[in-house]
Amino acid sequence: MNAPRTFVPQATRTAEPDAAPRTYPEHKPERIYLFGTCVVDLFFPEAGMDAIRLLEREGIQVVFPQAQSCCGQPAYTSGYTDQAREVARAQLALFDQDWPVVVPSGSCAGMFRHHYQELFAGEPDTLARARAVAERTYELAEFLLHVCRVELHDQGPPTEVALHTSCSARREMHTHHHGRALLDQLSGVRRVDHDHESECCGFGGTFCVRMPDISGAMVADKTRSLRDSGATRVVSADAGCLMNINGALKKQRAPLQGQHLASFLWQRTGGQP
């Protein structure tokens, strides 16, 4: 993380320097926090459970603070900054121990890692805490790959999957690299590209209700290219995108469905669904 710069609101700004590549701890920690995210909580709880199982299989004890709720992103991106800040503050209070915070969703992990510092720029004490949490926040795939250094043993039949990565996860957390690397460890899985792979699926939080036709056109194009890719399954590490993509596939009565990366990895490596 960059050293804090003195903040003069009206000073002319230069771009934030690109962060240096992240360095990872040498050893797996004994314990981690799981921040489940609000969408996983209600719509993909099994993905959260599979994340816990994957982590436990690595010998890590998972702590799930029951008071957690949402990272605050929906309000933040809608411009309701004050509301987002209070929700963020409530989360920050839950992750006090010096354990990694693992998040099975790239965009929520990005909130923890990048945007909390913007939210608390004017509150030195909370900012310090936000920085400390940001330092030890990991997206699940990143954590499995670079901290656990997992070696996955594929036990499933040959299959072809398409990987969709959420835009903020791609740009803020480089989740696409982590997802690809994990899938490529699975001997029976062939990863297929899809057209305009790096393009947004049209979810965008409240964007999908504020600009419904544009969002609908985007998810129609995204699901068309996923169907055309020849993949038998779509995998994503972001539950928001999955809800959008699965919702559209369902409406199209397409046999193709999206699955959370955590569930896919767990099931392919012998875990029981």
Partner 1 sequence: MSQPARIPLRDEFNSRARDALGDAQLRRNFRGAMDSLMEKRAAAFSDADERERLRTLGNHIRARALSRLPDLLEQLESNLTANGIQVHWAETTEQANRIVLDIAERRQARQVIKGKSMVSEEMDMNHVLADHGIECLESDMGEYIIQLDHEKPSHIIMPAIHKNADQVARLFERELGEPYTRDVNELIQTGRRILRQKFFDADIGVSGVNFAVAETGTLVLVENEGNGRMSTTVPKVHIAVTGIEKVVAHLRDVVPLLSLLTRSALGQPITTYINMISRPRQAGERDGPEEVHLVLLDNGRSQAFADGELRQTLNCIRCGACMNHCPVYTRVGGHTYGEVYPGPIGAIITPHLVGLDKVPDHPSASSLCGACGEVCPVRIPIPSLLRRLREENVSRPDPGHAVMRGQGSKYSALESTVWKLWRTLYTRPLLYRLFRFFATRLRALTPSRLGPWTEHRGAPKPAARSLHELARKHLEQSR
Partner 2 sequence: MSAKARILDKLRHSLAGTEALPDDFDETLVTEPWRYPPEQRMARLRELMEAVRTEIHLTDQTRWPALLADLLAKKQLTRLLIAPRTDHGRQLSEHWQHRSDAPALHAYDRPVEEWKHELFHDTPASLTGTVGAIAATGSLILCPDRHEPRLMSLVPPVHFALLRASTIHDNLYEAQRALNWRAGMPTNALLISGPSKTADIEQVLAYGAHGPKDLVVLILEDA
Residues that bind partner 2 (CB under 8 A): 8, 10-12, 14
Q: Which is nearer to partner 2, 6 or 23 (CB)?
A: 6
Q: Which does 58 bind (CB under 5 to 8 A by kind): partner 2, partner 1, none?
A: none
Least spacing, CB of residue 196 vs partner 1, in Å? 8
Q: Which is nearer to partner 1, 132 or 211 (CB)?
A: 211
Binding residue (CB under 8 A) for partner 1 from 25, 212, 230, 270: 212
164 contacts 201 by C-beta, under 8 angstroms: yes
- Cα of first residue to Cα of last residue in the chain, in angstroms, is 38
How many secondary structure helices (H) and strands (E) does the chain include?
14, 8
Instruction: List the structure tokens of 150.
Output: 């997992």
Stretch that binds partner 1, among 66-74, 181-189, 226-234, 255-263 (CB under 8 A): 66-74
The three-state secondary structure class of 155 is coil
Instruction: List the structure tokens of 179.
Output: 């997802």
Stretch that binds partner 1, among 23-31, 67-75, 95-103, 134-142 (CB under 8 A): 67-75
- If one asks whether residue 240 binds partner 1 (CB under 8 A), the answer comes out as no
- If one asks whether residue 29 binds partner 1 (CB under 8 A), the answer comes out as no
Least spacing, CB of residue 20 vs partner 2, in Å? 19
Burial of 83 (0-12, 13-18, 19+ CB in 10 A): middle
- If one asks whether residue 45 binds partner 1 (CB under 8 A), the answer comes out as yes
- If one asks whether residue 67 binds partner 1 (CB under 8 A), the answer comes out as yes
Using CB under 8 A as the binding criterion, the count of chain residues that bind partner 1 stands at 81
Contacts of residue 31, defined as CB under 8 A and 6 or more positions apart, other chains included, come to 60, 61, 62, 63, 97, 99
How does strand 61-63 pair with strand 101-103?
Answer: unpaired
Q: Which does 243 bind (CB under 5 to 8 A by kind): partner 2, partner 1, none?
A: partner 1
Contacts of residue 22, defined as CB under 8 A and 6 or more positions apart, other chains included, come to 146
Cα Dmax for the chain: 59
Q: Which is nearer to partner 1, 192 or 211 (CB)?
A: 211
* Short-list 12, 14, 16, CA closest to 1: 16
Q: Which does 100 bind (CB under 5 to 8 A by kind): partner 1, partner 2, none?
A: none
- If one asks whether residue 247 binds partner 1 (CB under 8 A), the answer comes out as yes
Give the x/- contact pattern for partner 1 in 96-135, rule: CB under 8 A.
----------------------x-----------------
The three-state secondary structure class of 233 is strand
